[in-house]
Amino acid sequence: MKRLMLWAGLLVAAGLILVLTEKGQAVPEFLGTRLVSIVNGGGASNGDSSYPDSSHSGRYVVFESNATNLVGGDNNGVTDVFLRDMITQNVYRLSRHSNGTAGNGASQRPVVSGDGRYIAFHSAATNLVDGDTNNATDVFVHDRLTGQTSRVSVATGGAQANAPSYDPDISADGRYITFWSLASNLATLDNNGKSDVFVHDRNTGQTFRVSVASNGQQGNDDSSHPTISDDGRYVAFESYASNFVANDLDGYKDIFVHDWQGLSTIRLSVNISNAGGLGDSYDAAIAGDGSAVVFTSLAANLVGSDTNGNPDVFLRDRVGNNTERISVDSNEAQANGTSEQAVLSDNARYVAYRSNATNLVSGDSNNIGDVFVRDRTAGTTERASLRNDGGQANDASDQPTMTANGDLVFFRSKATNLVSGDTNGVRDIFERDRRIPPPELSSDFYIGKPGSEFLFTGRYFTPNITATVKANEVIIGQVTADGNGSFQFTFCYLASAPNGVAMVRVEAGAQAAEQTVRVHSDAPLRGPTGVTPLFCLANSAILDIGVNLPIIRR
């Protein structure tokens, strides 16, 4: 009671009781789920958007889109690359020449540096840089600070590639760009007639091949879809080549990582005994620190008890030399559907991926692909493609990416119910804030006449937890949160209540939230709310604040 009296006294001393509003104030929303691919200045896009990527903090999000209304003057009729500043809400088109001219061919698969300055993408456009005469898809980098666009799928010395290049990834500082190419003139002695993986150093202008064995031998089959660590040292990729490591005799596509500073190549799609996966492995993504790589695999021998017959997401810990399956529920049960498109946080704790499994979380009944996040430290799996109220999406979600710390997940979805007013009928890019706000308790009104009823709403408690409800430290009941951690109850003052105040507090273990409501004979009568349970406070427990305060209504 001492804490409560002190609290009330401080309110009086500060004059805060005098300005308690008549109507309950809106509780600030956490970011939850929000739309990314919107028109510059607000409004819905008129075309599909795909392949999001974000800066480390999540402020800058890049994506490709065939929408024509995201920025003014978009009349080139092809897919472009855009960037959304999530703070200023501005949208920029980046697939353009340094002089501002829009690309005359499709630009796709953007990736962004850690600070959001550099964006790499591949494009079929021939007018993004001067002298582009190879009639092939190339990889470009746009510098948002200088406005310059440069081509990076070039040989050391600047000669353009003699065949297409695709799917770039970028180091955190934007210095190193990796990509795969069918070109044979980007590196010396490239005569294998296969697609290879390259790295271009934007500082030195050097381009070198990384889809090679530790001794530098080129691959005897196709290599593609690279991913690069933050410092640019490690590049993981998929390949059918059988000569990168010894005893690779299974004939399946594998995941490899090349350390171009240490000149070593190792196979990652292996089990704890270092035996290769007996099924194709693909779609690799490397942690920012290079410590781990996630990938999708059809192999059933990478971990024990893999009997679902579906592609699964796996993680290879390069430090501990261990392989674990990621696409499992919080009890380690395997997924009953396909899981793929994995990405991971910088420290490899969180892995986001797409799955059409229905058993990874409880209540998954939409029978479509969703985006999930695995917390490897906590051993939990959660669904990220959700509405703000926790409801599930009404259409498929995929192509996840996440911020460096894993707090924010970005993904593509055809769903129309993730945010209100989504009526454009196209695939959009969304952001999901995974951070759990502290528990909150709010009331519909803060002051009422004796006999009033107040509707209380609790949010962000542990789902399904039972909490104790107190008023001025007196226990008046219990409530149980729903599966989203929310609940409602009605609090009332008796008709004979004296003027005073009650601090209503909800406690559930270490979780607690409180809200004050005042009773005064001159205030309006509130309620009834029609919501149960109903908890009324005895007159003897009402706190007399000791002064006759005027009623100020807003």
pTM for the complete prediction? 0.82
**CB-based burial label for 191 (10 Å; 0-12, 13-18, 19+):** exposed
Query: Residue 186 has what pLDDT?
Result: 99
**CB-based burial label for 71 (10 Å; 0-12, 13-18, 19+):** middle
User: What are the residues facing 457 on neighbouring strands?
Assistant: 442, 488
User: Taking residues 81-99, what's their average pLDDT?
Assistant: 97
Question: Is residue 15 predicted with pLDDT exceeding 60?
Answer: no
Phi-psi category of residue 38: left, alpha or beta, with phi > 0 → left and psi -120 to 50 → alpha: beta
What's the rounded Cα separation, in Å, for the pair 447 and 524?
8
pLDDT digits (tens, 9 = 90+) for 377-407: 999 999 999 998 889 999 999 999 999 999 9
Domains and CATH numbers, the chain: 2-29+438-541 (2.60.40.1930)
User: Taking residues 420-446, what's their average pLDDT?
Assistant: 95
pLDDT-derived band at 546 (thresholds 50, 70, 90) equals low
Locate tokens 């695995």: which residue?
A: 374
pLDDT-derived band at 26 (thresholds 50, 70, 90) equals very low
Query: Residue 478 has what pLDDT?
Result: 98
pLDDT-derived band at 551 (thresholds 50, 70, 90) equals very low
Return the percentage of the chain with pLDDT > 70, whole number: 93
pLDDT digits (tens, 9 = 90+) for 119-137: 999 999 999 999 999 999 9
Cα–Cα nearest to 408, from 86, 170, 111 = 86
What's the rounded Cα separation, in Å, for the pair 94 and 165?
19
Question: Is residue 27 predicted with pLDDT exceeding 70?
Answer: no
b/e code 511-535 from CB counts within 10 Å (16+ = b): bbbbbbbbbbeebeebbebeeeebb
Return the percentage of the chain with pLDDT > 90, whole number: 89
Tell me whether strands 149-151 and 138-143 are parallel, antiparallel or unpaired. antiparallel
How many Cβ atoms from other residues are within 10 Å of residue 298's Cβ?
Answer: 18
User: Taking residues 295-310, what's their average pLDDT?
Assistant: 98
Question: Is residue 497 predicted with pLDDT exceeding 80?
Answer: yes
User: What are the residues facing 324 on neighbouring strands?
Assistant: 315
Cβ-contact 383, 329 below 8 angstroms: no
pLDDT digits (tens, 9 = 90+) for 28-51: 344 689 999 999 888 999 999 999
Query: Residue 430 has what pLDDT?
Result: 98
Query: Residue 22 has what pLDDT?
Result: 36
Q: What angle do CA 48, 312, 320 make, to 5 degrees?
A: 115
88 Cβ contact list (under 8 Å, min separation 6): none
Question: Is residue 14 predicted with pLDDT exceeding 90?
Answer: no
